Structure 1
Amino acid sequence: MRLCAFWATALALLASPVGAQDVLVLGEVHDNPAHHAVQAARVAEFAPQALVFEMLTPDQATRVTPELRGDADALAAALDWGGSGWPDFSYYYPIFVAAPQAQVHGAGVPREDTRTVAEQGLGAAFGEGAKIYGLTAPLTETQQSAREALQASAHCDALPPEMLPMMVDIQRLRDATLARATMQALDQTGGPVAVITGNGHARSDWGMPALLARAAPMIEIYTLGQGEDGAVPDGIFDEVIIAPAPERDDPCKAFE
């Protein structure tokens, strides 16, 4: 009998001992350059065998070559970073070169998969392994309400209330996709693995680390959240550090 991809990965991890901090999850506020500087420094210190980026799809990750990693402009062009919607590539490039030996994995969710959430449901959008990552079970009422409130706030309270459950499902899909990509990176390299993602996905109480721990409890995970101007990010982390917030326009003015 052939094993599914998940169980093959899980058995491979069990076959070889895992140690402290197999996975280092580095949160961020996406447009804060100080947060990215911390990520690059932590990656250099951690020396991971794989880097998992929320900002890259699996297809984009295959375009990262050793030659391109030595040229920021060429790498950005190969990744079509300018059309990605993420902040300036100069924020992220130091992370790529902080661990030049590391495999690069993409955990970004393609837009068509987010549409599948609305059309067919969360489990169908994720595919094989949805149950293992907890996607086939509803959230508790308390957590669902808290997540919907966060989504409403993140979108300047401009979303119709009936859209909020779907937005929560999309966040759950992104968390599970990050967890699956991290499992694959561990399987392929033996670890350790560093994960670059937003604070909301990095939180250990209900973000990607919680789903990874659910799927593979033998893995040691360390989470870093990064706040701004004295405010700590929502959620639970092993460590939280604070940096100044950059000057930025109020995104909610567009809805006034």
Structure 2
Amino acid sequence: MAAPFAVAQTPLPGAAQGADIVFLGEQHDNPDHHARQAEWVAALAPKALVFEMLTTDQAARATDDARQTQGTLQAALGWDAAGWPDFAMYYPIFTAAPEAAIYGAGVPRDDIRGVMEHDVTAIFGAADAARFGLDAPLPLAQQTARQALQAQAHCDALPQMLLPMMVSVQRLRDASLARAALAAFAETGGPVVVITGNGHARTDWGAPVYLRHADPALDVIAIGQGEAGQDPAGAFDGTVDGAAVDRGDPCDAFN
């Protein structure tokens, strides 16, 4: 694995050049982050793009014809119904690699709801769970830290009994990103770029952990994006800074 690096401006970090799979993290509602992702995707010229925001079914609708305009792709993907931020921020990422195959890593809502009733390994598939390391319980310190982060992210409005399930959902999403990225590499030969939130790109407990478990020989690089001098939480192979977004008080939604 490449040594960590720090980047202050937008040029593509050298460690990402030649990597098999590159995770580009983001804050979902930050236009600056998406503009940089589009710039870096153009520089990497990946054979495949993997999106956290798309399910497998949605990705299949990203045909060459649908990708011709922002409006046609937005409609084909059913983007507006999915609850993600403005598609205008994401479309330049698609056009930055117009020949790249599109893969979806999003977990269907039925599977997310199923975590309340079933073990996450059963939803993911027992064989793949073992392959990617999803069947292994988290160390107690990490489980505790992740539950605390879930509580904080939801402004302490969640019942305590739901916090372990929320961590399981995040692990399911991480492993699904890893599986999609590995499939994209196997089918296209790479390089592969993964577009995802910073939390899923982190190398200490995000998707790269599951990907490296499945195939330690892959050269995997993960870049996180911060805001206004504040690095994203977690470990990355490199981080960059970006402009901040005024979100008001996120806890207002829980009041």
**TM-score, structure 1 length as denominator?**
0.91
Q: Does 1:229 align with 2:246?
A: no
After the TM superposition, list the runs of 4 or more consecutive aligned residues in structure 1 that deviate by more than 3 angstroms.
none
Q: Does 1:215 align with 2:221?
A: no
Aligned to 2:12: none
Percent identity over the alignment is 58
Q: Distance in 1 between matches of 2:203 and 2:18?
A: 16
- Other-structure match for 2:131: 132
Q: Write the deviation string for residues 133-191 of structure 1: whole angstroms up to 9, x where unpaired.
A: 11212100000011111111111111111110000000000000000001110111000
Q: Report matched runs for 1:17-96 at 5 Å.
A: 20-96=18-94
Contact 1:117 1:124 in 2 (8 A): no
Listed one character per residue, the Cα deviations across residues 48-80 of structure 1 (whole Å, up to 9, x for unaligned) are 000000000000000011122121001101111
Letter in 2 for 1:201: H
User: Does the CA-based 8 Å contact 2:106-2:173 persist in structure 1?
Assistant: yes
RMSD (Å) for aligned C-alpha atoms: 1.1
**Cα distance between partner residues in 2 of 1:118 and 1:20:** 41
Shift of 1:254: 2.2
SS in 1 for 2:90: helix
8 Å CA contact 2:227, 2:242 repeated in 1: yes
**CA distance in structure 2 between the aligned counterparts of 1:172 and 1:49, rounded to whole angstroms:** 26
2:110 pairs with 1:108: no
Q: Which amino acid aligns with 1:61?
A: A
In 2: Cα distance, 1:100 partner to 1:157 partner: 42
CA distance in 2: counterparts of 1:130 and 1:211, whole angstroms: 9
Aligned length: 238
Deviation larger for 114-123 or 43-52: 114-123
1:246 paired with 2:255, answer no
* Offset of residue 105 of structure 1: 0.1
- After superposition, residues 2-13 of structure 1 pair within 5 angstroms as none
Q: Tell me, in whole angstroms, the C-alpha distance in 2 between the residues paired with 1:125 and 1:114.
A: 9
Q: Tell me how far 1:224 sits from its aligned partner.
A: 0.6
The 10-residue stretch of structure 1 (114-123 or 104-113) with the greater mean CA deviation from structure 2: 114-123
The answer on whether the counterparts of 1:116 and 1:124 sit within 8 Å (CA) in structure 2 is no
Contact 1:223 1:239 in 2 (8 A): yes
> For residue 67 of structure 1, what is the amino acid of its counterpart?
D
Gaps in structure 2 of 5+ consecutive residues: 1-16
Q: Secondary structure at the match of 2:241?
A: strand
Offset, 1:20: 4.0
1:72-117 Cα offsets, whole Å, 9 max, x none, are: 0011011111111000000100000000010000000001111221
Aligned to 1:255: 254
Aligned-partner Cα distance in 1 for 2:253–2:187: 44
Letter in 2 for 1:70: Q
Q: Are the equivalent residues in 2 in contact too, given 1:107–1:178 (CA < 8 A)? A: yes
Tell me the residue number matched to 2:199: 200
Unaligned runs of 5+ in 1: 1-18
Cα contact 1:20–1:221 (8 A) shared by 2: no
